[in-house]
Amino acid sequence: MSGKIDARATARTRARYNRIAPIYDLIETIVEGTFRSWREKLWSNANGYILEVGVGTGKNFSYHPRGMKIVGIDLADQMLARARERAQKLGMTIDLRQGDAQSLDFPDNTFDTAAATFVFCSVPDPIRGLRELNRVVKPGGKILLLDHVRLDQPIMGNMLDLLDPIISRLWGAHINRRTIENVRQAGLDIEKIEHLGPMGMVKLIVAKPRK
């Protein structure tokens, strides 16, 4: 893969999520009610050997399909610590590891499904990360993404651009990512996009790796 990983940006992202890890679930309480059905929808498409990228505090665990072998990675050890606690409470066996979506520690064509919810809004180099998903998912496998994106409207779009430096510093996530374009640029084949939430700001993307 060309170019180097931006180590400073990656360290900054890790530090932001480590900082907010103790209050992450609390901050998200208000929106989680809305997210529930979207998470369910995404995970109903997952099967086989599954990679969850950016597990965070493990909010997806109760939606994981039963009986599948699942590996979860996250950049931030403090988020991961909470994910481990959650998996234990739920009595689930999930292989949880610290890792970077931009440089996945798995051989080519390992997984049947890779999934990420609200992650590529914060991965420093999202195209690089999406290319990594393309690499580790088997031909014919699935890449499932749920994320908020930049609105393609002049006023709201510009407002998100203006607010992004403040929000990303406080919260870790960028609010103006062009994730659909990023998925295309990474070379994935998009099968389906569902537009969810206010103004269709959240996208559920079903893609296939292009080999």
Ligand X SMILES: C[S@@+](CC[C@H](N)C(=O)[O-])C[C@H]1O[C@@H](n2cnc3c(N)ncnc32)[C@H](O)[C@@H]1O
> How far is Cα 136 from Cα 145, in angstroms, rounded to an integer?
15
> How far is Cα 24 from Cα 4, in angstroms, rounded to an integer?
30
> How far is Cα 136 from Cα 180, in angstroms, rounded to an integer?
20
Residue 7: count of CB within 10 angstroms of its CB: 9
Q: Nearest to ligand X by Cβ — which residue?
A: 56
Give least dist CB 205 to ligand X, A.
14
User: Reduced to 3 states, what is the DSSP secondary structure of residue 30?
Assistant: helix
Chain positions 104 to 123 lying near ligand X, rule: CB under 6 A, are 117-119, 122-123
Task: Give me 19's structure tokens.
Answer: 């900082």
Contacts of 81 (CB under 8 A, 6+ apart): 21
**Is residue 72 involved in binding ligand X (CB under 6 A)?**
no
Among 42, 51, 54, 70, binds ligand X (CB under 6 A): 54
Give least dist CB 155 to ligand X, A.
25
Q: In the chain, what is the straight-line distance between the N-terminal and C-terminal CA atoms, in Å?
A: 15
Chain positions 145 to 204 lying near ligand X, rule: CB under 6 A, are 173
**Which region among 53-61, 156-164, 176-184, 187-195 touches ligand X (by CB under 6 A)?**
53-61
Q: Tell which phi-psi region holds residue 199, choosing left (phi > 0), alpha (psi between -120 and 50) or beta.
A: left
**Is residue 132 involved in binding ligand X (CB under 6 A)?**
no
**Is residue 102 involved in binding ligand X (CB under 6 A)?**
yes
**Is residue 59 involved in binding ligand X (CB under 6 A)?**
yes
Give least dist CB 17 to ligand X, A.
4
Task: Assess contact for 56 and 85: CB atoms under 8 A.
Answer: no
Among 42, 46, 87, 101, binds ligand X (CB under 6 A): 101
Residues found near ligand X in the complex (CB under 6 A): 13, 17, 53-56, 59-60, 73-76, 79, 100-102, 117-119, 122-123, 129, 173
